[in-house]
Amino acid sequence: MASKTLVLPGETISPDILPTPTNPNLLLKLGPGLRHVPPSTITSTIAGPLCIDQKKNAIWVENNSGRYIPQPNDLIIATVHHSSTDFYSCSITPHTTFPQLPQLAFEGATKKTRPQLNSGSLIYARVLTASKHTDPEIVCYNPSTGKSEGMGELKGGMVFDISLGLARRVLMAKQREDGGIAVLEEIAENVAFEVAVGRNGKVWVKSGGVKETLLVGRALQEADVQGLGVEEQVKLVRKMIRQV
Amino acid sequence: MPREAEPSINERAFVLQALEENIRLDGRALDAFRDIDISFGDDYGVADVQLGKTRVLTRISASIVAPYPDRKFDGVFVIITELSPLASPAFEVGRQSDLETHLSRILETTLRRSQAISTESLCLVAGQKVWSLRADIHILSHCGNLVTAASLATLAALRQYRIPDTSIKGGELTVYTPLERDPIPLALLHHPLCITLNYFENGEKMIVDATLQEQQCSEGEVVVAANPQGEVCLVQKGGGGEVDALVLLRAVDMAVGKVRELGKLVDRALEKDSKMRDKGGISAELSAENER
Amino acid sequence: MVNVTLSPLYRADGSATFTSNGYSVIAAVNGPIEVQRRDELPEEAAIDVAIRPAAGVGGVRERHLESIIQNTLRHVILVSAHPRTLIQITLQIVASQDDSLYPGNLPQAASNVPVLPALLQASILALLSASIPLSMTLTATLISVKENGGVAPSPSAQDLEAATSIHVLAFSSHGDLLVVESEGYFTMDTWEKVYAKARLICHGEKEEDSESEDLSMDTEEVTKLEDILKDAVRQKVAAEYRWKQSPDSAAT
């Protein structure tokens, strides 16, 4: 699926390796880390492996470091910083401008039934709009269906920091096959827990007790730091469960 | 708005809940340190200390200055701490934060006021020329317990530093380069270190070497500076939460034990370093060139 | 001997250490973060460079170097990608050559220039580590000219003392000259020689055959600086994607 060539910023992507669309109507999609210099040059802007998806006619540069930049439709875990009349100001990453969460952007929220969030509350939300010129707007429901779809305030539990790359992998549809993540499935066989993953490099875990919650969080962090493969993750989880 | 982000309600509650069950998030015992690594630079007097994810680099340097007129026989020893955005985006360039003042005050009391370094030994020509010794403490990564990391780095650097040798003939002062004469170690009278204890539940529970998150969730902290002989140089309680007086005694007791533990670590790191510098077993006394 | 580590620090968004020729620099990049109102630019990211000397507080020398680096990086970073934000670069000098030269004095360099290549290189590596969008990368080197007109790359402290002129040159990854800082007396011919040598070290391509190479220099050990940059990134990526290459998944 993805071919591995390493690019540094400023390299021109040769037109030969661009994906050839099966359907001529499908336009070439440039993902993160690439820019189009008119008329027809494509250059890289960040360092990392160049990935190509022939089926979707897409090309992008993967990266695992740096600060999270909000993108529309990303699921994120944010902290409420303060509240004003119509909005909650939340923090996705520290030291950036606060994205706004309308107080009515919850499932079934009306002026009377809207949830009251204190500063310091955690929320699971989706980025509605984000562009470089405006502050992002986030919502806790799906605007097309009006349903919460798991978003909203996160009560109890604990948040763990993970790398942006791991967050992306855990959120993939086929966690084990595409993302190479076996930790969560493996733990779920023995321990019941709830989990929410934010693209901003945060995982929220809630379970019966402190030990169980820590098990999930630490297993993920461990797999992240050491770059464990599926098999190794299974081994790690079994070892950790035995210890608890 | 450069301020360290506060932990969320959930995180705070979880940390406290875990501590109630005597569990720390990284799996350490309540009185255990994170992994400590002490390394030295190529030049004398540069110590790099990693305490888990906290990292502090201290550099000692010396220059010749005129002494203060009221202290003709004393050399000068200054400690400079500066927190830069290197350590955390919460720090601003060129603006002194409370943490910085807190840190340099504690180190100042621990090392200077406790006479760890004898300023008389830094005097070259009374009333005219003295050594001005300077410890630049660079905080590279701030992940909790800066006080211990900084005091470890500074003590290690001071103990490893070699000051240029000098001689006075007919009132003329000569400073020798390392090639001419081996530089000499500083005269340290004792080796004090700082331990920070963060307390919870009105001082019922105390933890050593708190991470930034634990620090933010704690009710307050007690800083104890002592030397491995068990002599206490400083006790400071901060953070507001009220504690029983006996708690402080307990804290001092605990800290003295920890100082001994860390003191041994510094000893070992210095031993390893001097072996490395003394390549091939040729004693440093034989030739000055081997030092470098 | 050039030594590079990417992302050694935990709190900064991106960081790097660069050690070469007796100079060692730690760089950290934070960004894009919120910018103070007075520094805010409506169409582009503000770039803030702070240099902290190994000992003592920064002075005129540091401000001068900061301005050179800031002006260079403004053209390297795609500032329009993150308008109304701040990209903050902090450079900590850990060791420099002139530290041990004068006993009894604070390590303060006689010249501003020699530490510049390490600063530039460390900042570009930290920017890579922070995944800040760049239009190119750069490589920089220090070259001194001896009294006999010989060109010496990676000069030692003694070489610098004896040199008639010293030069810092930085090249973009496209091979264009980005920064030149020269000190001392030299002729245009000497400069051409310096340019050819520096380009060879940084970018690798020889423009002309430089015959007057210094004898003491070992041509073998010249590794293109660009390759060192790429190797550092390759190592980091390999560590991050270890899960993909790990034995079990390779077997399937």
* A9/C136 CB distance under 8 A: yes
Q: How many CB atoms lie within 10 A of CB C5?
A: 17
| pLDDT at residue C98 is higher than 90 | no
Nearest to C11 among B59, B88, B138 (CB): B88
At residue B78, the 3 state secondary structure works out as strand
Question: What global pTM score does this model have?
Answer: 0.92
Nearest CA in chain A to B18: A210
Give the model's pLDDT for residue A54: 84
> Residue C203 is encoded by which pair of tokens?
């970018």
- Chain C residues lying within 8 Å of B177, measured CB to CB: 103
Binding-face residues of B in 84-103 toward A, CB within 8 A: 89-90
| pLDDT at residue B2 is higher than 80 | no
- Chain A residues lying within 8 Å of B21, measured CB to CB: 210-211
Nearest to B6 among A118, A120, A158 (CB): A120
* B14/A213 CB distance under 8 A: yes
Helical spans, DSSP H, in chain C: 60-76, 116-129, 157-162, 188-202, 225-240, 242-245, 247-251
* A-C contacts (CB, under 8 Å): 122
Nearest CA in chain B to C23: B42
* C230/A35 CB distance under 8 A: no
At residue C221, the 3 state secondary structure works out as helix
Q: Select the residue from C1, C7, C9, C11 to test the B interface by mutation, using most B Cβ atoms within 10 A.
A: C11
Nearest to A65 among C85, C131, C249 (CB): C131
* B63/C50 CB distance under 8 A: no
Query: How far C97 CA sits from the closest chain B CA (Å)?
Result: 10
Q: Would you say B104 and B136 are in contact if contact means Cβ atoms under 8 Å apart?
A: no
Across C181-207, average pLDDT: 87
Give the model's pLDDT for residue C250: 38
Chain mean position to CA B152: 4
* C248/A229 CB distance under 8 A: yes
| pLDDT at residue B282 is higher than 60 | no
Average pLDDT of the residues of chain B: 90
How far is the C-alpha of A200 from the C-alpha of A163, rounded, in Å?
8
DSSP track, B187-225 = -BS---EEEEEEEEGGGTEEEES--HHHHHHSSEEEEEE
Give every CB contact of residue B286 below 8 A, 6+ residues apart in sequence.
none
Chain mean position to CA B282: 32
pLDDT top residue among C134 and A173: C134
- Chain B residues lying within 8 Å of C103, measured CB to CB: 164, 175-178, 183
| pLDDT at residue C243 is higher than 90 | no
Query: How far B189 CA sits from the closest chain C CA (Å)?
Result: 23
pLDDT top residue among A18 and B54: B54
Give the model's pLDDT for residue B15: 96
* C135/A226 CB distance under 8 A: no
Give the model's pLDDT for residue C207: 45
Chain A neighbors (3+ CB pairs < 8 Å): B, C
> Residue A79 is encoded by which pair of tokens?
């902290």
Q: Which of C109, C93, C181 is nearest to C144 (CA)?
A: C181
Give the model's pLDDT for residue C248: 43
Domain C3-241 has CATH 3.30.230.70: yes
Give the model's pLDDT for residue C100: 53
Query: How far C174 CA sits from the closest chain B CA (Å)?
Result: 30
How far is the C-alpha of C139 from the C-alpha of C117, rounded, in Å?
8
Give every CB contact of residue A160 below 8 A, 6+ residues apart in sequence.
A202, A203, A204, A205, A217, A218, A220, A221
* B86/C105 CB distance under 8 A: no
* C173/A47 CB distance under 8 A: no
CA atoms in the 13 A half-sphere facing the CB of A70: 32
How far is the C-alpha of C26 from the C-alpha of C28, rounded, in Å?
7
In sequence order, the β-bridge partners of residue A61 are A50
- Chain C residues lying within 8 Å of B93, measured CB to CB: 48, 50, 90
Give the model's pLDDT for residue C213: 42
Q: What is the pLDDT of residues C65-90, one digit of tens each?
A: 999 999 999 999 999 999 999 999 99
Q: What is the pLDDT of residues B158-183, one digit of tens each?
A: 999 999 999 988 888 888 888 888 89
Give the model's pLDDT for residue A176: 83
Nearest CA in chain A to C246: A229
Give the model's pLDDT for residue B211: 95
| pLDDT at residue B195 is higher than 90 | yes
Query: How far C111 CA sits from the closest chain A CA (Å)?
Result: 32
> At B93, which amino acid appears?
V
Using CB atoms within 10 Å of the CB of residue C224, give its burial: 0 to 12 exposed, 13 to 18 middle, 19+ buried: middle
Give the model's pLDDT for residue B290: 46
Using CB atoms within 10 Å of the CB of residue A171, give its burial: 0 to 12 exposed, 13 to 18 middle, 19+ buried: middle
> At B106, which amino acid appears?
I
Q: Would you say B88 and B4 are in contact if contact means Cβ atoms under 8 Å apart?
A: yes
How far is the C-alpha of C17 from the C-alpha of C11, rounded, in Å?
15
Nearest to A210 among B8, B12, B17 (CB): B17
Would you put residue C125 in left (φ > 0), alpha (ψ -120 to 50) or beta? alpha
Q: What is the pLDDT of residues B73-92, one digit of tens each?
A: 999 999 999 888 999 998 88
- Chain A residues lying within 8 Å of B9, measured CB to CB: 118, 120-122
Q: What is the pLDDT along chain A (244 residues), one digit of tens a residue?
A: 344 688 999 999 988 888 877 777 778 888 889 999 888 899 999 999 998 888 888 899 988 888 999 999 999 999 999 999 899 999 999 999 999 999 999 998 888 888 999 999 999 999 999 998 889 999 999 988 989 999 999 999 999 999 999 999 999 888 888 888 999 999 999 999 999 999 999 999 999 999 999 999 999 999 999 989 899 999 999 999 998 7
Binding-face residues of A in 28-57 toward C, CB within 8 A: 33, 35, 43, 45-49
* A45/C128 CB distance under 8 A: no
* B8/A122 CB distance under 8 A: yes
CA atoms in the 13 A half-sphere facing the CB of A200: 22
- Chain C residues lying within 8 Å of B57, measured CB to CB: 92, 94
Give the model's pLDDT for residue C102: 54
- Chain B residues lying within 8 Å of C47, measured CB to CB: none
Give every CB contact of residue C7 below 8 A, 6+ residues apart in sequence.
A65, C14, C15, C16, C129, C236
pLDDT top residue among B130 and C219: B130
| pLDDT at residue C121 is higher than 60 | yes
Distances (CA, A) of C187 to A84, C190, C192, C209, C215: 67, 5, 9, 19, 21
pLDDT top residue among B281 and A104: A104
Give the model's pLDDT for residue C221: 47
Nearest to C88 among B63, B85, B142 (CB): B85
> Residue B223 is encoded by which pair of tokens?
């800083």
* A156/B13 CB distance under 8 A: yes
Range from A65-79, B222-236, C230-244 carrying the lowest mean pLDDT:
C230-244
Give the model's pLDDT for residue B281: 56
**H/E segment holding residue B103:** helix B98-107
| pLDDT at residue C212 is higher than 70 | no
Cα dihedral C171/C172/C175/C180 (nearest 10): -30
Give the model's pLDDT for residue C204: 80
* B43/C30 CB distance under 8 A: no
Distances (CA, A) of B105 to B78, B101, B141, B158: 11, 6, 20, 18
How far is the C-alpha of B46 from the C-alpha of B39, rounded, in Å?
8
Distances (CA, A) of B13 to A120, A156, A157, A159, B195: 11, 8, 9, 11, 26
DSSP track, C26-84 = EEEEEEEEE--GGG--SSS-EEEEEEE-SSS---HHHHHHHHHHHHHHHHHB-GGGSTT
Across C55-62, average pLDDT: 84
DSSP track, chain A = ----EEE-TTPBPPGGGS---SSTTSPPEE-TTEEEETTTEEEE-S-EEEEEETTTTEEEE----S-----TT-EEEEEEEEE-SSEEEEESSTTSPPPEEETT-STT--TTT-----TT-EEEEEEEEEETTEEEEEESS-TTT---TT-EEEPSSEEEE--HHHHHHHTSSSTTTTS---HHHHHHTT--EEEEEETTTEEEEEESSHHHHHHHHHHHHHHHHHT--HHHHHHHHHHHHHH-
Query: Chain C within 8 Å of A21 (Cβ-Cβ)?
Result: no
How far is the C-alpha of A81 from the C-alpha of B6, rounded, in Å?
9
Give the model's pLDDT for residue C104: 54
Give the model's pLDDT for residue C7: 92
* C82/A65 CB distance under 8 A: no
Nearest CA in chain C to A232: C248
Give the model's pLDDT for residue B170: 83
How far is the C-alpha of B229 from the C-alpha of B227, rounded, in Å?
5
Give residue limits of the domains in chain C: 3-241
Nearest CA in chain B to C50: B93
Distances (CA, A) of B23 to A194, A210, A213, B14, C179: 21, 8, 12, 10, 55
